[in-house]
Amino acid sequence: MLPTRLIPIYILEFCFWVYVGWSWLRWHKSHADSAIAKWRRIIIAVGFGFATLSTGLDIFMTVHAAVTGGYPFYRPVEMFCVRTGTLASVLVLLTVIVGTGKLRVPTAIASSITLFLWFADAMSQ
């Protein structure tokens, strides 16, 4: 059973996950702008892939914690997800600096949110 005090947090995280999925669909349906260099579009797509990886780890952690009732301190699975997700989020911020295209803003938003979530999870240990 989910604690009622966490329901707003789960709703906000679900909205964030939907935003990431919607951004992929919107990018897939859009046509590439030929004025932008192809390598810069590829960099931002790879960056958004890392942002999706970090979001996927967040989904895994949230669902796993809801099913198992939480994590004890310094559990190896949680520490792996925090390290990998933080590294992916920082790499994504670097790709936002170099890359351009329609995914640039969603990439920056997704990276910032996941970096905050990983920081909050690490600080709660």
Q: Where are the domains of the chain?
A: 38-123
Number of neighbours of residue 40 by Cβ within 10 angstroms: 15
d(CA 118, CA 86): 6
Burial class (CB in 10 A: 0-12, 13-18, 19+), 4: exposed
Task: Provide the token pair at 41.
Answer: 């579009």
Read off the DSSP letter of residue 120: H
What's residue 72's pLDDT? 79
pLDDT truncated to tens, each residue of the chain (125 aa)?
Answer: 567 777 888 888 899 999 999 999 988 888 766 666 788 888 988 999 999 999 999 999 888 888 887 777 788 888 999 999 999 999 999 999 988 888 889 999 999 999 999 998 888 87
DSSP class of residue 28? H
